[in-house]
Chains A and B, each alone.
Chain A
């Protein structure tokens, strides 16, 4: 079956621009997670959805970051007024329910020039 997919695989943008990163979870998975991975570090939690609602957004670094999951499936991570420090690989994971095994997508590499 299809795994978690993320688009685009690479995104290059200029400082100050707006970007959207998309995640398609495994069909039927109710839980969805976003993580950010900087070079040489492990993934860092950003936000967790259970169904359509954000159950925990404590990892979002500031109000420039926002994520939605309007129909409980696809999720979009939105970053406003991008900064060079936002450059990282953004990972999405899904699980059957909260606290089940998480399956990760290949990530979107964001580069802010």
Chain B
């Protein structure tokens, strides 16, 4: 079946540090890939997505590139802020499954001033 494996957390960084959160997947079909973010006390929000190989999703300074050859979709940001402290989820969905999403277990990021 489909699965998503995320780098285990928690991750603690100082402000302006570089962030990478690793995500790899296995899929029975050709997936679209997503990163969601959950800020404290809030619901899940879509952060970025990529729908085909070599696509780069980007939003709010975050980027992730769909790498089919390594089945990966690592999240990066060049300079994190305290406000980026949240839980980040990697997810996939398969077109033939009508968008049913499979999620990783989440990575908690804490950014200290």
Q: Which residues of A contact B (CB under 8 A)?
A: 4, 31, 33, 35, 40-45, 48, 50, 55-56, 59, 91, 93, 95, 98-107
Contacts and interface: CB of A to CB of B under 8 A. Distances in A.
Given A43-B44, A104-B43, A106-B43, A48 B106 contact: no
A102 B91 CA distance: 12
A62 to B, nearest CB: 19
Given A42-B91, A42-B105, A99-B95, A104 B100 contact: no
Contact of A45 (B36, B49, B100): B100
Nearest to A99: B99
A59 B24 CA distance: 22
Contacts of B46: 101-103
B72 interface: no
Contacts of B103: 35, 42-44
Contact of B106 (A42, A98, A105, A107): A42
Contact of A99 (B43, B98, B106): B98
A33 B104 CA distance: 17
B43 A42 contact: no
Nearest to B36: A104
Contacts of B89: 42-43
Contact of B49 (A35, A42, A101): A101
A23 to B, nearest CB: 12
B102 A98 contact: no
Nearest to B87: A42
B4 A42 contact: yes
A41 B105 contact: yes
Contacts of A50: 98
A107 B101 CA distance: 16
Interface string B21-53: 000000000000000100000111110010000
Nearest to A45: B100
A33 B102 CA distance: 12
